[in-house]
Every structure is written in structure tokens, then in C-alpha cells.
Amino acid sequence: MEWRDDGIVLSIKAHGETSVLIDLFTSERGRHSGLVRGGKSRKIRPILQVGNVVSATWRARLDEHLGSATVEMVEPVASRLFDDPLALAGLSSLCSLLSLFPERAPHQGLYKGAKLVLSHMEDDQIWPGLLVRFEMEVLSELGFRLDFSECAATGTKEELVYVSPKSGRAVSRGAGLPYKEKLLELPPFLRGEKENGVSDQDILNGFALTGFFFERYIFKPDQQAGFSAGNFKNINKGTDHFGVPRCEAARSSFLKRYKKIRTPENL
């Protein structure tokens, strides 16, 4: 059994004295692990950095086996961001989001979305907004799609400024005003406005919006009445290097750094 595909490096784990286990999110096959022999060498180690895009050749006697992999560099994303701690934190958060998915389940649209974010990581005016949208894609792939097309209460498409925490649907200003304390804010750039010049507060509101649903349905679902983690069959609940705990920690670390660096008092 052999295949070749491009993939994003999600994590690396030492295996023996010279080898490493890698976790990739591939274009055609979703998450896939493999053993890279000699992965600790000076030649290969720079390739296997979280966030890099590589071309991988995977081989195994049977498809269900772990398999061995050889890798070649396609895009050295991590090294380009070496002097940008905020972008590196964002990169780590993005890769942890991809680690939420179980192995060997294709998510081609999600791969394209991740590549779009990676291609703009050197432009700090663009990538944060793309990352918010990517988080929405992740939620949708996991089974909870946010819908901002019309007001959940009236059906109007005008002045959509709130989001219902129960349904994830947009709510208009008029319908939501009496209940605004219980509703989430919908940033203008997520409703198709202010595509240029998105403020840091808009970005933080966007992350607060997606973060509410990650917290409620992914990170701590068992705390919600009538809901359990089993509702999301399409999720990796691993507690070691992959899965929900890693994602929650990486996303939290990124947001703390974003607020510290990009909030108005620090600009």
C-alpha cells in the first residue's frame, strides 16, 4: 500500500533514538500518521516543523497499519514566521483545530481553507480574520454550522448584528435589541461588511463568537444540559498530543497573546 499527498504538519513526537511519529492533515486523506525514520536528523528536522506544508509518501503492507513516511518540503511556513510570535501562536492554534478530526477521514474543503490562512500568515492585516472564518469552517465540519444569512426571528437580511447562542443563527438589531444582553455580537466582517480595515476589536469579537460554540459544544460539552460529547461523532477526543485538550490549550494561549499584543492600549 502506497500513496503520495501534500499535507500540513500538525505535530511531531519522538519515537526511539532517531525516528519520529508525525501527524499530517493531508489534502486527500485528512489526518494521517506515519513513522519518519531519521526524523531527528539535521536534514529532516527543519522540514518537520508544525505548520509546514510537506509532500509525503506513505507506505505500509496494509492500509490499517501505521506505515512509514518520507517527506519533502513544499512550503516552509514555520520558518517564515520565526520572528512573529503572534503569527506562530496563530499557526499553532490552526494546527490544533485540525487535530480535532479523527484519522483517515477526508476533509478537502477544510484543507483548502487551512492553506488559504497559511498563505496569508505573513500579513497581519489579513490572517486573523481568515482564522476566524476558518474556525467557523471547523465548527461546520464538526456538525455545528453558524448561519448568518438571515434573522432567525424575522427572516430579514438587514441589520444582522447579533447571534443566538442557542441556534447559532443571526438576529437582526430590531428583533434582538430587547434581548441583547443574552445574545452574541456579530462582527461586521462576518456579515459581509468592512472587508478592508477590520479592527482588532472586530477580530476579538469574532473569536469570542466562535469560542463560545467551541466551549459549549466541543471543549466542555458534558457540562451542557441535554448534550454530550457523543453528539459529535466526527471528533478526535485524544488526550495526549492530539485532540480536544491540545486544541483548547493552543487556542487559549493564542488569544491571550493576541489580546496582549493587539489590544488598543498595547498598540
What is the average per-residue pLDDT within 253-257?
96
Q: All 3 cell numbers of residue 8?
A: 500540513
Q: Cα angle at 70 between 68 and 71, to 5 degrees?
A: 140
Mean pLDDT of the chain: 89
- Tens of pLDDT, residue by residue over 200-237, are 999 999 999 999 999 998 888 765 544 444 445 556 55
Question: Which domains are present in the chain?
Answer: 2-79 (2.40.50.140), 82-148+186-266 (no CATH)
Cβ of 90: how many Cβ atoms within 10 Å? 26
Span 166-176, average pLDDT: 96
What's the pLDDT band for 191 if we cut at 50, 70, 90? confident
**pLDDT per position as a tens digit, 51-94:** 999 999 999 888 778 899 999 999 999 999 999 999 999 999 99
What are 18's three cell numbers? 532517531
Q: Which three cell numbers stand for residue 248?
A: 483548547
| The pLDDT value given to residue 169 | 97
